[in-house]
Amino acid sequence: MDLRGRKIPVFLEEIDSFIKSENLNGTSIEKSPCMTIRGGFIQCNRCGGIKEKREFKLPNGCFYCPDCTQLGRISSNQVFLHEATPKMLPALDVHMTWKGALTSEQKRCSRKVVQAVLRRETLLLHAVTGAGKTEILFKGIEAALKQGLRICIAVPRIDVLLELKPRIQDAFQSIDLCCLYGKSDEVYRLTPLILLTTHQLARFHQAFDVCIVDEVDAFPFVDNPFLEFSLQQAKKTESALIYLSATPGRIAKKTGHRTVDRVVTLPARFHQHSLVTPSFVFTPDWRRQIQEKKLPKKFGHSVQQMMEDGFPFLIFYPVIRDLDNLAEILSNEFPTLRLETVSSIDEQRIEKIEDFRIGKMDCLVTTTILERGVTFPDISVLVLGSDHPLFTKSVLIQIAGRSGRKLTRPDGVVRFFYDQKTKAMIESKKEIRVLNHLARQRGLLVDSFKLASNRRNPVF
């Protein structure tokens, strides 16, 4: 087992046998308590959570942390074993194998990323959905690798990770890349570049010189002290921290209590067409209609139109337990429509997403699991029940951002079907307009006029 940069919880009485069985070098291993007990409180040293100890007492008299049990329960009779990461890894003579070209705006952001890496600064990169954030990072990653720095890219979910991994590997083909998530069977090793889901940060200690945190404004990172604590533990004291976000409004508030040295904004997509602005469609009683297996009329018309357009489309629907109903209604009404449902609890979601991507289906009906990080070319998006509380402003911006991501179809259709118009809906639309305006003002867009296909959209 490679323990360098990691912290592994081990029971006190099993330390020696663990070191022996894992063939570790006992002299270089540091030990620290998993929990700190102060008076009537316990603090977890993995997630930072503080709790009243009497509520979390085990039958053996020890205390456990209830907040980070998804990584395996830790308790006060365990210690972390940790081995320091080398101060520097060997500097790598790396050649970036990505052959694409950046727009001048992407280059400007890319220079800021490199600067943040070299100066170990904290940078916030606001880039709209489809701005080409990953490509903007490449030069910064290259600069870090050349210096022997260790980089970690933390993303919110497995789907995003699985899409990102081949892109990073393609860009840095000679680099050993370790990819860690909840159920991955990949064995941890000391690689210069690590990709992980955000929760995995909690298994590291003073490990990274550069941390890139994707979608910092979104679930699970936002308002989650556990993940913020883990991030602070996982990065070295002197390190660069690059936060990525597509919804600047949310982040602007957060920066009040985070120290960000620099902020760089990219309001335009890489293909220089504006973001697709959602249109609102009044759909009274959408939930009841779906429960009664009726197709809301205007929603049905839109599905019909999507089929006539001939492009694949996503339908977002907020309630998992109605998904089957919705799929049944659609299949009855549109027998030729090839569709599948996929939700966060679907075991085959990775396969289904892949099938949609390669064109085996016309339509994927989903909850919010596909709203960020995944790119399907040429799609349109319908959100049935956009007034549901699950659809926050940030989620709606991300959902709208699934459309028009590629130059092959930079416009697409985005429609929100609602019963009661919400603040989140209004603000998401406003923010998209503001960003488009900003991009247009800066001369970053080629489409100064709405594309003809968008003009067809009814605006309510």
Chain residues in the site for Zn ion (CB under 5 A): 44, 46-47, 49, 65, 67-68
Nearer residue to Zn ion within complex by CB, 46 or 205 = 46
Minimum distance from CB of 224 to Zn ion (Å)?
A: 12
Q: Which is nearer to Zn ion, 68 or 136 (CB)?
A: 68
* Torsion sign across C-alpha atoms 235, 227, 190, 261: negative
**Pick 201 or 330: Cβ nearer Zn ion:** 201
Query: Which residue shows structure tokens 């070098």?
Result: 25
Residue closer to Zn ion (CB basis): 47 or 399:
47
Residue closer to Zn ion (CB basis): 43 or 305: 43
User: Of the two residues 78 and 436, which places its CB atom closer to Zn ion in the complex?
Assistant: 78
Measure the CA–CA gap between 130 and 447, rounded to whole angstroms.
16
Closest to Zn ion by CB, 182 vs 284, is 182
Among candidates 372, 366, 325, 329, which has minimal Cα distance to 348? Answer: 366
Shortest Å, Cβ 50 to Zn ion: 10
The first and second tokens of residue 12, run together, are 């006190």
Q: Which is nearer to Zn ion, 56 or 311 (CB)?
A: 56
Q: How far is the CB of 48 from Zn ion (least distance, A)?
A: 7
- Least distance from C-beta 213 to Zn ion, angstroms? 20
CA separation, residue 174 to residues 88, 164, 177, 179 (Å): 19, 17, 9, 15
Cβ pair 142, 96 in contact under 8 A: yes
Q: Which is nearer to Zn ion, 9 or 248 (CB)?
A: 9
For the chain, how far is it from start to end, CA to CA, in angstroms?
Answer: 59
Give buried/exposed letters for 118-141 (b at 16+ CB in 10 A, else e).
eebbbbbbbbbbbbbbbbbbbbbb
Tokens of 289: 């209609």
| Shortest CB 233 distance to Zn ion, Å | 11
Q: Which of 218, 225, 268 is nearest to 244 (CA)?
A: 218
Q: Which residue from 357, 5, 374, 314 is spatially nearest to 155, judged by alpha carbons?
A: 374
SS3 of 242, please? strand
Q: Whose Cβ is closer to Zn ion: residue 67's or residue 447's?
A: 67
The continuous run of DSSP H or E covering 265 comes out as strand 262-266
What is the rounded CA–CA span in Å between residue 97 and residue 416?
Answer: 40
**Least Å from the CB of residue 214 to Zn ion:** 23
d(CA 258, CA 41): 26
CB of 67 to Zn ion, least distance (A): 4
Per-residue b/e over 378-415, b at no fewer than 16 CB within 10 Å? bbbbbbbbbbbeebbbbbbbbbbbbbbbbeebbbbbbb
Residue 425 buriedness (CB in 10 A; 0-12 / 13-18 / 19+) = buried
CB 372 within 8 A of CB 221: no
Whose Cβ is closer to Zn ion: residue 68's or residue 240's? 68
Cβ of residue 188: shortest distance to Zn ion, in angstroms?
A: 20
Smallest separation (angstroms) from Zn ion to the CB of 345: 24
Could you tell me the smallest distance in angstroms from the CB atom of residue 59 to Zn ion? 20
Instruction: Name the residue with tokens 């040293």.
Output: 45
Using the minimum distance from each CB to Zn ion, give the nearer residue, 74 or 161: 74
